[in-house]
Chain A
Amino acid sequence: MNFFCLKWGSKYDSKYVNRLYGSLLRHVNIPFNLTCYTDNPYKLREEIEVKDIKELRPYNTSRVFTYEKLILLEKHEKGIWIDLDILVHKDITDLITSDMNSFTMIWNHWNNYEYKSALNWGKGTACHVNSSFVKFDNAEWLIKYTHDNWDKIEFTYKSLDKYLFYQHFRKNNISFWEKNIFSNYNVEGQILKNKVTLFNTSHILANNLKETAFELHEASQEVQQIWSSYDI
């Protein structure tokens, strides 16, 4: 199994990548590789394969935040991409080895769809999907559609998740992980639930929201103990 992550800029340091690798060592019971696309490989564990993130940037844009993930699909036929700001805290072997469609991502079960997304669809602010943990397998349809429509996509969407929601969820192109696998720390009472917990905060900054949210390194003592235990 091949896992991929992205690290650029200064928001997350090498500790995030190294501990992500440690969490996979503990909770994935099949052979795997982790490749990190980055602009700074300093202090990354030697078991982690390092590639230049420029390989994933054919478009010079500051929009469609994290579109680089989609370019991964061109470089690698199948695999799983994972964000750095997640905590894997239970075994995910069954999850990652299960048969899925060509593109499987997270449905935001912790939000009320009718109130949060369906109601706001026309405003262009809806987004009920999350690309923090995505399994892909020959998703050529998505690569082609993205390149064929790049001008429109770049102009219209601030983030990859919004693009996927507005253009591919509505066409039933995307499948979703089952409920009770993922949880959202900042939305669900700052506790660890299910198998993998997300600590997303980027949307708060991007939309100037006045929400209190914790990054993984700012979370509770319980979280810190688990997270730091992935140092080896």
Chain B
Amino acid sequence: MIFSLLTNYNDVILLAPGKKESDINSLITLGINVKAIDYDPKFNQWPYYEIADFIFDKVDLTTECLVHLNCEKTYYKINYTGDIILRGDDRHKNGDCNPITSCEQLIEQYQLKKVYETYVQDFSKYKQYVVWGCR
């Protein structure tokens, strides 16, 4: 769902995407500028990836649409204005500092001014929450 929404934009930044090589290549093929920012050094040599901790480091988040793919793993205060897609889950994994239990939580934490769409995907053991909006 998220990647189909991104066809509305010419320039996107993906935060904490993990391994999303094929999705990124698909967007690039469509002519969309993509930058992935991930703190995991294993992506150091990957094209389109920038290794940085976007919570603690000074990172330029200027783009048409910012996409945070693992909100459950990070602090929620970021310096960004514009369209945003947020995704997080309630798996409560060991490294999760911010388990997401509703779309409302994402809307409130990220102080969205407008909400275009919300979506909940029910997996067998957990739920994943997605919000598309603007801040």
| Residues on A facing B (Cβ under 8 Å) | 118-125, 149, 151-152, 155-158, 166-167, 170, 207
Among A119, A123, A156, A170, contact of B93 (Cβ-Cβ < 8 Å): A123
Interface pair A152/B75, CB less than 8 Å apart: yes
Between A123, A124, A156, A157, the greatest number of chain B beta carbons within 10 A of the residue's beta carbon is seen for A124
Interface pair B97/A122, CB less than 8 Å apart: no
Interface pair B56/A125, CB less than 8 Å apart: no
- The residue in chain B whose Cβ has the minimal distance to the Cβ of A155 is B75
| Chain A nearest Cβ from B31, distance in angstroms | 28
Q: Do A207 and B94 form a contact, CB below 8 Å, given A121-B39, A121-B40?
A: yes
B1-55 contacts to A (CB < 8 Å)? 16, 18, 38-42, 53, 55
- Across-interface contacts of B98 in A (CB, < 8 A): 155
Count residues of B near A (Cβ-Cβ below 8 Å): 20
How far, in whole Å, are A207 and B95 apart by their CA atoms in the complex? Answer: 10
Can you offer 13 A-B residue contacts whose CB atoms are under 8 A? A118-B42, A120-B95, A122-B39, A122-B40, A124-B94, A124-B95, A124-B97, A152-B56, A156-B75, A157-B97, A166-B39, A170-B41, A170-B53
| Chain B nearest Cβ from A112, distance in angstroms | 15
- The residue in chain A whose Cβ has the minimal distance to the Cβ of B95 is A124
- The residue in chain A whose Cβ has the minimal distance to the Cβ of B93 is A123
Q: Do A122 and B75 form a contact, CB below 8 Å, given A155-B97, A166-B53?
A: no
Counting from the closest, the 9 A-B pairs by CB-CB distance are A124-B95, A122-B40, A125-B95, A123-B95, A121-B40, A155-B75, A125-B94, A156-B97, A152-B75
- Across-interface contacts of A167 in B (CB, < 8 A): 53, 56
B127 at the interface (CB under 8 A from A): no
How far, in whole Å, are A167 and B16 apart by their CA atoms in the complex? Answer: 16
| Chain B nearest Cβ from A50, distance in angstroms | 35
Interface pair B96/A122, CB less than 8 Å apart: no
How far, in whole Å, are A176 and B93 apart by their CA atoms in the complex? Answer: 29
- Across-interface contacts of A157 in B (CB, < 8 A): 97
- The residue in chain A whose Cβ has the minimal distance to the Cβ of B96 is A124
Among A122, A125, A166, A207, contact of B42 (Cβ-Cβ < 8 Å): A122
